[in-house]
Amino acid sequence: MKKLALYLVVAALAAACASKEARQEPPVADRSTAVPPTTPGNTGSTTRQTPTGQGIVRNELTDPNSPLSKRSVFFDYDSNAVKDEYRSLVTTHSRYMADKRDSRIRIEGNCDERGSREYNLALGQRRAEAVKKVMTVLGVSDGRIETTSYGEEKPVALGHDEASWAQNRRADIKYAGE
């Protein structure tokens, strides 16, 4: 069942691309290149790759094989409850932040397109706050987490069906400097 849902999502994304409405944000995990976590003020520039003898250093935050590359918590319709299946993702990031004491994150809440824009902006904020709350309970200090919301303004999937909407009801974790 889950596989089928995933397939539908992929198909919807492909359809969205094929229709030339290439408006979508790249998925969060793909956006940044090998940028080490940095202090606030550094913008995530693609020129900040660190060359080594072999080429580019693998970054645990963005390496697709690293659990830290998973950045999105997805929500049910009209809900800001962090579902059990995302507990390990949130825990992984909380542990990383416990290790890297200078790391800071920004959690961006998002909604699907249904409903009123301004109310969705507030709902997105509540989703971001819900993820933040889990992380503070796990020991990350309040001041290292900034929350914001894009409401329904930055969908990653552009369809007008549940497969797309499910992709857009999410909170994204972004590290300072990305």
Partner 1 sequence: MTRFLLLLGMLALSLGPRAQLTIDITTSGGRQVPIAITPMAGEASQPQSVSEVVGADLARTGLFRLVNTSGVSPLPTEPSEVNFGDWGARNAEALVIGKIEPVSEGRVEVRFRLFDVQKAAQLASYSYVVAPAQLRATAHRIADVIYERLTGDKGVFSTKITYVVKRGRRYELQVADADGFNAQSVLASQEPIMSPAWSPDGSRLAYVSFDQKKPVVVVQNLAQGTTRVVANFRGNNSAPAWSPDARHLAVALTKDGLTQIYRIPSGGGDAERLTESSGIDTQPAFSPDGQTIMFTSDRGGSPQIYRMPASGGPAQRVTFEGTYNVGPRFSPDGKSVAFVQRDAGRYRIASLELATGQVQVLTDGTLDDSPSFAPNGKMVLYEAQVAGRGQLAAVSGDGRVRQRLTSAAGDVQDPAWGPMPTN
What does the binding site for partner 1 look like in residue numbers (CB under 8 A)? Answer: 21-23, 113-119, 121-123, 125-126, 129, 146-151, 153-154, 160
Q: 149: Cβ–Cβ under 8 A, 6 or more apart, which residues? A: 108, 109, 110, 121, 122, 123, 124, 125, 127, 128
Q: Given the complex with partner 1, which of 60 and 146 has the nearer CB atom?
A: 146
Q: Beta-carbon neighbour count of residue 2 at 10 Å? A: 7
Give min distance, CB of 174 to partner 1, in A.
10
Q: Look up residue 108 and give its amino acid.
A: E
**CA-to-CA distance for 43 and 38, rounded, in angstroms?**
9
Give min distance, CB of 123 to partner 1, in A.
7
Is the Cα dihedral 118, 26, 60, 56 positive or negative?
A: negative
Q: Given the complex with partner 1, which of 27 and 67 has the nearer CB atom?
A: 27
Q: 18: Cβ–Cβ under 8 A, 6 or more apart, which residues? A: none
Q: Given the complex with partner 1, which of 45 and 116 has the nearer CB atom?
A: 116
Give min distance, CB of 153 to partner 1, in A.
4
The helix (run of H) or strand (run of E) holding residue 58 is none
**CA nearest to 169, candidates 141, 139, 149:** 149
Give min distance, CB of 28 to partner 1, in A.
14
Q: Given the complex with partner 1, which of 41 and 51 has the nearer CB atom?
A: 41
Q: Look up residue 68 and give its amino acid.
A: L
Q: Given the complex with partner 1, which of 24 and 66 has the nearer CB atom?
A: 24
Give min distance, CB of 117 to partner 1, in A.
6
